[in-house]
């Protein structure tokens, strides 16, 4: 990878950067690394679009992936490829296309091979073997999707944790992150005009509130509106309205007597880790 040369070849900054994640399996590992790194840039994942290309296990599929990167105008690919021939071909092909590459798996396997004094299996997808843990993770992901955004509140009764908060407080991505840790997480969006369902109060011992600084939330919502092509002012990003929503959310948290996490400037991983720590302590009540 020749980072400075690639950057100098570009005279204009990237206004809507696209990062590709390529894997010979499902790509979760590389995607997690990409999101963790992006979060270090003001903790804002909204500015960068991540596109994942899984099951790239041949030179032909590398060619197809690189073609997609070029069509999208991408300058960076993060990949986890365990077969050396495919990995080296990805590096050389991207080098010709002047696309930055970050090899997640190669250096680690080379270091382990040296330390362990034996060759790796070089079998894609080993981490996703169909074992009991895998099925628990899949079930948790399906649960998070089914009971996302307040759908079917009866599902709260079967959850390990329920996240509550106003719109754009990272409820859904945190639930998906927790699902990968085999946690059955549901979430509910709090809106002043809608009374929360009774199920939320029935499981108050499993509820965690998410809050955020109003000015920061306003920025996030404005970026959301721009991405949707809705640049005109609306109640959604009105600061007075946002403060009213947050006050209402606080009143619900007080009624539930649930712990509250401030997600301002927090990456999804940080928030999810705090949720997991709260669950391990069993500290679901202020009292």
- Model's pTM, two decimal places? 0.61
Spatial strand order in the sheet of 18-23: 49-53, 18-23, 76-80, 100-103
User: Which tens digit of pLDDT belongs to each residue from 89-116?
Assistant: 999 999 999 999 999 988 888 888 888 8
Dihedral angle of Cα 234, 240, 242, 245, to the nearest 10 degrees: -120
User: How many angstroms separate the CA atoms of 155 and 116, rounded?
Assistant: 47
For the chain, list the domains and their CATH numbers: 3-128 (3.40.50), 132-281 (3.40.50)
User: How many angstroms separate the CA atoms of 208 and 280, rounded?
Assistant: 13
Query: pLDDT confidence of 4, banded at 50, 70, 90?
Result: very low
């Amino acid at each position: 990878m020749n980072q400075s040369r690639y950057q100098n070849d570009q005279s204009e900054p990237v206004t809507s950067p696209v990062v590709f994640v390529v894997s010979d399996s499902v790509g979760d590992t590389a995607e997690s690394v990409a999101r963790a790194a992006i979060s270090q840039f003001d903790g804002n994942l909204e500015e960068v679009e991540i596109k994942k290309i899984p099951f790239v296990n041949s030179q032909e599929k590398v060619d197809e992936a690189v073609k997609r990167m070029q069509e999208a105008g991408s300058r960076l690919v993060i990949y986890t490829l365990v077969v050396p021939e495919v990995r080296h071909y990805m590096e050389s092909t991207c080098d010709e296309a002047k696309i930055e590459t970050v090899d997640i798996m190669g250096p680690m396997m080379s270091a382990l091979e040296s330390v362990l004094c034996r060759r790796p299996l070089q079998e894609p997808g080993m981490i996703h073997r169909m074992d009991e843990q895998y099925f628990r993770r899949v079930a948790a992901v399906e649960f998070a999707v089914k009971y996302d955004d307040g759908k079917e509140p009866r599902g709260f009764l079967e959850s390990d944790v329920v996240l509550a908060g106003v719109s754009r407080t990272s409820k859904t991505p945190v639930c998906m992150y927790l699902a990968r840790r085999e946690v059955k997480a549901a979430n509910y969006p709090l809106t002043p005009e809608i009374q929360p369902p009774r199920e939320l109060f029935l499981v108050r011992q499993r509820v965690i509130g998410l809050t955020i600084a109003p000015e920061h939330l306003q920025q996030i919502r404005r970026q959301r509106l721009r991405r949707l092509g809705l640049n005109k002012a609306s109640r959604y990003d009105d600061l007075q309205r946002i403060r009213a929503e947050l006050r209402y959310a606080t009143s619900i948290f007080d009624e539930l007597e649930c712990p509250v996490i401030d997600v301002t400037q927090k990456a999804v991983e940080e928030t999810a880790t705090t949720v997991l720590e709260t669950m391990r302590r069993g500290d679901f009540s202020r009292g």
